[in-house]
Amino acid sequence: MSAIANDTAAVERRLWNEIENHQIGMLGVVGGAPHHLQPMTAFAEPDASRLWFFTRDDTDLVREIGDGHSAMFVFQQRDFRACVAGRLTVRHDRARMDKYWNAVVAAWYPDGKDDPHLTLLCMECADAQVWVSEAGPIRFAWEIAKANATGHQPDLGGRTEVRFH
């Protein structure tokens, strides 16, 4: 098992760093009618255990959220995978819009920050399951070959549960 997987605080720090550096994941509500998750850009506030997402107030996702809804944000990089759970609400927060506005966000909103349908989603993160693999391609090949030869599962990392405050 990966050394980092045994250190919950290190896994949590890495989770926030990965989200801050890469931002793109899949977001969706859970419970009720089945819905596909959709790609969203996350803006992380680690100290408050929050994720923010720009969206329009006339989307199916916003209608599904209503006054608040359980949600999952699934995030994946080469050797790092996470599923973050929490409560998703719609919030029109102009200060955060100003803080997180950038050229990429602006491309989706030609009317800018004054678009009457522009709003934010806020995810109050409750917990996450995180999988970390630091194997690299050579160790991966070795572990797969060893597993096939011995009948034991490969050791390619570990899973950690993170609970946010």
Closest to 24 measured CA to CA, from 11, 40, 12, 10: 40
- pLDDT tens for residues 125-158? 999 999 887 766 666 676 677 778 888 776 656 7
CB 71 within 8 A of CB 51: no
Start-end of H helices in 6-113: 8-22, 60-65, 94-100, 103-108
- pLDDT tens for residues 35-48? 889 999 999 999 99
Which residue ranges form the domains of the chain, and what is each CATH number?
4-163 (2.30.110.10)
Question: Does residue 24 surpass a pLDDT of 60?
Answer: yes
Q: Rounded to whole angstroms, how far apart are CA atoms 45 and 52?
A: 8
pLDDT at site 157:
62
Tell me, what DSSP letter sits at residue 5? G
CB 137 within 8 A of CB 100: no
Angle (nearest 5°) at CA 160 between 120 and 141: 110
Q: What is the pTM of this model?
A: 0.85
pLDDT at site 2:
46
Phi, psi at 63, each rounded to 5°: -60, -40
CB 124 within 8 A of CB 49: yes
Question: In angstroms, what CA-CA distances link 20 with 110, 137, 150, 164?
Answer: 25, 26, 40, 17
pLDDT at site 133:
78
- pLDDT band for position 159 (50/70/90)? confident
Question: Does residue 1 surpass a pLDDT of 60?
Answer: no
How many other C-beta atoms are found inside a 10 Å radius of the C-beta of residue 57?
14
pLDDT at site 124:
98
- pLDDT tens for residues 60-117? 999 999 899 999 999 998 888 999 999 999 999 999 999 999 999 999 998 999 999 9
